[in-house]
């Protein structure tokens, strides 16, 4: 039986995955509240959702966050840095924490983990109430055989060589890459803190994961998503908004919201304009 906990009191712990890796999680809010799970992106951490955790906890939701393998406070194995394994980790988390009637809010690579999970674990679809997919294209490596305009249509941003060059030069590439995820008005303190969160995964592991992540194509999964879905894009994100909006067009009945430049519509809009982000998500959850 679920135990009600006072709002503002976080329960932390760890689950052990099927391949014996410990993943740290935190749960906050009343035990009988509607369930939300926030999934961070590549190199990002659960802590980066803190503005959402406080808002939705205060609104009466039961909020769960976790660090993926190698990230944040979770274990740092030398293996398993592929999206299919991260999807298995997610399924382990859902089952072990007995999450149900759940809304997943996934950012960037977290969307790809969610798509892989949806593809691989159809028996677990019954656990999901709604999805919120934040700023991720379905295929973000540019195929040199595509016609002109196709890369922008899909928000494909990396030529194949750039993926490998980035992965093998993580130390130098990470600071400017993290900088590009913000608008130019980000404070030095915010940038430094998020960069520090990104550096909690080793460059070697992050590089392996980037290569696997980049070369996946999730386009055939999207039409098979059959729960209410909101797709969020940003006009000044590293991912062209048109390609993220295309994701919404492929999911039956999906809605989309695009943050304008004035709304600080960067890749990390949930951090830079948490008030607007939280209100958009809350309105969707209330439908």
Residue 6 confidence (pLDDT) above 80: no
Structure tokens at 24: 């740290």
- Other CB atoms within 10 A of residue 226 CB: 12
| Cα–Cα nearest to 48, from 108, 114, 121 | 108
Domain regions of the chain by residue span? 10-286
How would residue 262 be classed by pLDDT, with cut points 50, 70 and 90? Answer: very high
Residue 3 confidence (pLDDT) above 80: no
Is the pTM for the entire model greater than 0.85? Answer: yes
10-286, what's its fold? Rossmann fold (3.40.50)
| pLDDT tens figures, 71-95 | 999 999 999 999 999 999 999 999 9
| pLDDT tens figures, 110-157 | 999 999 999 999 999 999 999 999 999 999 899 999 999 898 888 888
Q: What is the 3-state secondary structure (H, E, C) of the chain?
A: CCCCCCCCCEEEEEEECCCCCEEEEEEECCCCCCEEEEECCCCCCHHHHHHHHHHHHHCCCEEEEECCCCCCCCCCCCCCCCHHHHHHHHHHHHHHCCCCCEEEEEECHHHHHHHHHHHHCHHHHHHEEEEEEECCCCCCECCCCCCCCHHHHHCCCECHHHHHHHHCCHHHHHHHHHHHCCCCCCCHHHHHHHHHHHCCCCHHHHHHHHHHHHCCCCCCCHHHCCCCEEEEEECCCCCCHHHHHHHHHHCCCCEEEEECCCCCCCCCHHHHCHHHHHHHHHHHHHC
Residue 241 confidence (pLDDT) above 50: yes
Q: What confidence score (pLDDT) does residue 156 get? A: 86
How would residue 5 be classed by pLDDT, with cut points 50, 70 and 90? Answer: very low
Q: What confidence score (pLDDT) does residue 8 get? A: 53
Average pLDDT, the chain: 96
Mean pLDDT of 24-42: 97
């Amino acid at each position: 039986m679920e135990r009600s906990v006072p709002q503002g009191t976080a329960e932390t712990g760890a689950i052990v995955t099927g391949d014996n890796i410990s993943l740290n999680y935190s749960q906050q809010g009343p035990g009988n509240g509607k369930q939300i799970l926030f999934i961070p992106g590549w190199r990002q951490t659960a802590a980066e959702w803190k503005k959402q955790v406080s808002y939705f906890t205060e609104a009466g939701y039961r909020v769960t966050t976790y660090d993926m393998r190698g990230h944040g406070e979770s274990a740092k194995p030398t293996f398993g840095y592929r999206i299919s394994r991260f999807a298995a980790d997610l399924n382990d988390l859902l089952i072990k924490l007995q999450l149900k009637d759940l809304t997943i809010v996934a950012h960037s690579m977290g969307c790809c983990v969610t798509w892989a999970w949806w593809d691989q674990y159809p028996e677990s679809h019954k656990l999901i109430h709604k999805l919120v997919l934040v700023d991720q294209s379905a295929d973000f490596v540019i195929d040199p055989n595509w016609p002109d305009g196709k890369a922008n249509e899909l928000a494909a941003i990396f030529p194949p060589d750039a993926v490998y060059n980035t992965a093998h030069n993580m130390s130098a590439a990470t600071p400017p890459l993290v900088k590009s995820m913000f608008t130019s008005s980000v404070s030095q303190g915010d940038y430094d803190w998020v960069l520090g969160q990104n550096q909690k995964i080793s460059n070697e592991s992050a590089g392996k994961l980037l290569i696997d992540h980049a070369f996946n194509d999730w386009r055939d999964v999207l039409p098979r998503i059959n729960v209410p879905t909101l797709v969020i894009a940003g006009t000044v994100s590293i991912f062209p908004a048109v390609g993220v909006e295309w994701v919404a067009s492929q999911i039956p009945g999906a809605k989309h919201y695009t943050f304008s430049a004035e709304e600080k519509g960067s890749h990390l809009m949930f951090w830079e304009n948490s008030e607007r982000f939280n209100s958009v998500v809350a309105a969707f959850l209330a439908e």
